[in-house]
Structure 1
Amino acid sequence: MIHALFAAPQAYDAAWTGPLTRAFAAAGLDVALSRDHAPETVDYIILAPSGPVTDFSPFIRAKAVLNLWAGVETVVDNPTLTQPLARMVDPGLTAGMVEYVAGHVLRHHLGIDAHLAAAPGAWDSTAPPLAQDRPVAMLGLGALGTACAKALVHLGFPVSGWSNSPKSIPGVTSATGRDGLDRTLAGADIVVTLLPLTPDTECLLDAGRLAAMRPGAVLVNPGRGGLVDDAALIAALDRGHLGHATLDAFRTEPLPEDHPFWHHPRVTVTPHIASATRPETAAGVIAENIRRGEAGAPLLHLVDRDRGY
């Protein structure tokens, strides 16, 4: 019998218990899933970073901590966490992000906002350029960034990408290093950020890098709020250097009602809906990692503590 601790808020139970139970059975695993296992009996911790476990030191038998979220920045630096940590990458989460990114890139590419706001009788029949003439930059070429980049290439956009390590993705011109970042920013009409939040990426898009973007460029950030210097972004929008920012992740969530983003005419706020962990698809990833852990095989999506993701 494998003891799995469900270390998540109680409100998660209704959505997750059924999918996890079915996934364990499909994988041939005999798992006792509970939020009440004694720490010394726990083999695996299924973790929501907003859940009840913040001290991992009592879990002396645990073989791994399996995160329910893609982001691990709230837990990766916990000094009590000595067990292997796996982040969540699942088909539903990836599909949701691809749909969000493709939808908002197309929205800005086609100028849909202007048509929605047009006064009755306004008839500007200027056609937008084709996708092939609208370069897009993808900052972050991990699982989510790569999937989004491939979808945009399929739609006909020229896509450049920037990441911490070299990547080879058909149809995507990729770069690394700070000089590569500046070139990537300067070459795009639309910039999408899907980087993890680490000490190296905190405020990566500061005043200098926002200034390096093309005049009129659009920023789409479904990644992490801390990637962007909020004040610098507002200043770049105010002076007209950037055309718009569509933001889905923020330093404080929910975004406070008095935050300037809510009221800025060149900002679209979406309430962290770009993608979510969907129990029906993510449960299979949890089950597979437990199967791997029991078989002594490498875990999927193992976090590199030095990199922070």
Structure 2
Amino acid sequence: MKAWIHETTGNPDVLQLRDRPKPEPGRGELLIRNRAIGLNPVDWKFILWGHDAWEWPHIPGVDGAGEVEALGEGVAHIALGARIAYHNDLLKPGSFAEYTVIPARVAIPLPDALPFAAAAALPCPGLTAQQAVDKVALWPGAHVLVTGASGAVGGALLQLARERGWVIHAVGSASQTERLHRIGAATVTDYRKDGWKEDWARRAMHQPLHAVFDMVSGGHAASLAPLLTANGHLVCIQDRQETAPLPAFSTTLSLHEVGLNAMHAHACDRQWGRLVASGTEIAKKIACGSFDPQIIEIANFDDLPNTLTRLKDGPNPGNRVVAL
């Protein structure tokens, strides 16, 4: 098979297109013939950083969509030829190839009407957003603040939060205001505006925020903790809170961290079943037009490194996908 591999860490231009042995699925695994690959920031970050668990040369990539080519021992609930999307463990050989082996439990069934390119944009952004909204028990009408809202995960989170009836206040790029309103934001704040946090502190005195979903950094999330009302939720999708951001027994916040890859090492089959079911529902909504996959580019497989560089350099008001 053809695969994009790297033998050293660095920017996306370290990737090389090479012939590699076609893998075989083991027990509980599937071999997927990739038809589209979803690109995510975690891809270029780990190409840059590397990981001690990798065998070299390494095939990166966590998201893909395609057809089941072969079944490993013990897999009886998925048919050959089934159309699926997946999020693979970033510690394993990944999706930047014509074929990828994945655990059968991560396979998201796809409607026949859903194009593979749209399906490949689903797993990392959609399942990360799903995990984030599942962290908090809020009621319809609750007010939430979402930073990084104009990115792929932010846009998916807005759409899932809208379905729960929350009043969503987006912080993102001013150029994306119209799109953010369309996919669920009640208000949009330009993150480049000086003093926007102070403006929100004044607003929160009259309209309490019940949750903040932050996609910037742990420090950035901590700076927003004072905006939350009693028993509020601070959800970190980038980084985490190493120490409590506010004094004990003040607003008694709940602190949450979100990391999709943790599911591969630590989640049970039942947890994966629930997450895959959520992904299946998102796939159905994309197919019927009620959920925006936010695709901003569909590139050719031969142009994968350059497309990943465009993702790294930004801006990215949505998802970049590679088609095979």
Using the size of structure 1 for normalisation, the TM-score is 0.47
What is the TM-score with the length of structure 2 in the denominator? 0.45
